[in-house]
Structure 1
């Protein structure tokens, strides 16, 4: 059992979480992730429909397609989608749960050859 996994196991034991409680927490997390993916799919489909319909109504290279009104739904809904993603994935997007451990080990391995004498 890895150090991280053992720490998480010990954490659950200290908190008194039973396997059923852990299953419920994992199930809720999976539902939140699924909700985000559905949100992202709807975002892509609806905005593609809007942009294609505006593009078809305007002539190629027409100024209407490049106006702010055409892109404001994409922009503001995109901000909402990013906020939704951050609420679901949190800090794990950029720094995973064991990122610090990997980075420390990487620096230790890198500096192994350099002896400070």
Structure 2
């Protein structure tokens, strides 16, 4: 049996999911900024041994799990995705 949600509960649930999506994009941005910086540090300090691969792969795997946890198989977003996502999640709870 499906639980009946009020509009406020639906909005709170949708907002939480949208916050998770925003968290993923913040993580992705940090990854894209930090990994090149680590490469630069590695290249300048020990060019013979490329240790930057380890954090790149480790964080990349974590980023992949984060993406799957947030999006599942639904990775396509477009213009005004946040508002559309909130409406979509609220519409799913109209039982």
Structure 1 gap segments, 5+ residues each: 1-13, 95-117
1:40 has 2:28 as partner: yes
Q: State the SS of the aligned residue for 1:82.
A: helix
Bigger Cα Rg: 1
- The residue aligned with 2:66 is 84
Taking the TM superposition and a 5 Å limit, the aligned residue runs for 1:1-117 are 15-57=3-45, 63-64=48-49, 67=50, 69-93=51-75
Give the structure-2-normalised TM-score.
0.67
Q: CA deviation at 1:50?
A: 0.4
Q: CA deviation at 1:31?
A: 0.6
Give the structure-1-normalised TM-score.
0.56
Stretches of 4+ moved more than 6 A in 1?
none
**Aligned counterparts of 1:29 and 1:70: Cα–Cα separation in 2:** 32
Q: Which structure exhibits the higher relative contact order, with contacts defined as CA atoms closer than 8 Å and separated by 6 or more residues?
A: 2
Structure (1/2) with the larger helix percentage: 1
> What is the root-mean-square deviation of aligned Cα atoms in Å?
2.0
